[in-house]
Amino acid sequence: MGRDWVPMRVRAGVTADELARRIAAQRASFLATGWSPGGTGGEVELSARDTGPAGRAAAAAWRRADGELRDVVEIPVDGAGWPSFRVAVIGANPLLPPSWRDAAWSSLSPARARAEFARWQWWYAEITAGRMGSYLDRLRLWEESRELAACRQAALEAVAVAGARPVARAASPAFLAAKAGLAGLPVPPPALEPGPVPTGDGPMPPADLEQAWAGLRVYRRALAAAIVEVNRTGPRSLRLATPPRVGEPAGDVRDPWLEDFFTWAAPYLSDGCGLYLWA
């Protein structure tokens, strides 16, 4: 299940303060449900592991807050239904500052949607023109540290499931030793968030990150070796993914999906629409 933005018009007579209150309540209840950016391919997946009373209460709160926002907006329909675009184009985009991604998981009033849209376009123009390189380097280091941590966690979870299966290889001394080796790896060296977003008013000093990337490369080799050993000794159905590479030269920052979003959203925002979080 994805999370989409659809264009929304504010009903006549609704004040900016009232709209802002309802949008804030919708966002807070959305975050409380356990829906979060992540998944594969830039999608968003529902991490609804809590199906008990707390999970049901969070879902009910979401429905109430979402309904209250829907009461004061109209969602236009085109010939194919509701026009929509995945929020992940902003909310899970590795080219954008983390705080901007986090803030994207929300409905946006018409005024705020226009302001955010202008900021996203400005940033994309800056980075595709070859500027903001120092910030992007720090951002990439932060991303790669998080990706290695996610790879380790996914491997540990998959190994735990495979180890519980009633097959001979799941109890073999070699597999048990490989499991212990993987479990003994600490989390990767942490990387600090890249810091304040540059304004473009002046050049940024270059980021000296080679020592930090060297540490991530060492860690990746250890994680890769542990995963190879688990794959070699574990049940045939268990095949852990290879850790992502780190510290590679930066590639092309152009993002056709983001460009498609700009093309999609511009006419609606120019026509006075905001963006409604459809979840």
What pLDDT, on a 0 to 100 scale, did the predictor assign at position 41?
32
Give the ranges where 9-108 is alpha helix by DSSP (H): 16-32, 53-70, 88-91, 98-104
Q: What is the pLDDT of residues 36-61, one digit of tens each?
A: 554 333 333 344 445 567 778 888 89
pLDDT more than 70, % of the chain: 89
Cβ(278)–Cβ(4) under 8 Å? Answer: yes
125 CB-near residues (< 8 Å, 6+ apart): none
Cβ(175)–Cβ(233) under 8 Å? Answer: yes
Q: Counting every residue, how long is the chain?
A: 279
Please tell me the pTM assigned to this model: 0.85
Query: Does the pLDDT of residue 35 top 70, yes or no?
Result: no
Distance between CA atoms of 128 and 150, rounded to whole angstroms? 28
**Residue corresponding to tokens 């807070």:** 28
Distance between CA atoms of 215 and 78, rounded to whole angstroms? 52
Q: How much is the average pLDDT of 230-258?
A: 91
What is the DSSP secondary structure assignment for residue 80, as one 8-state letter? T
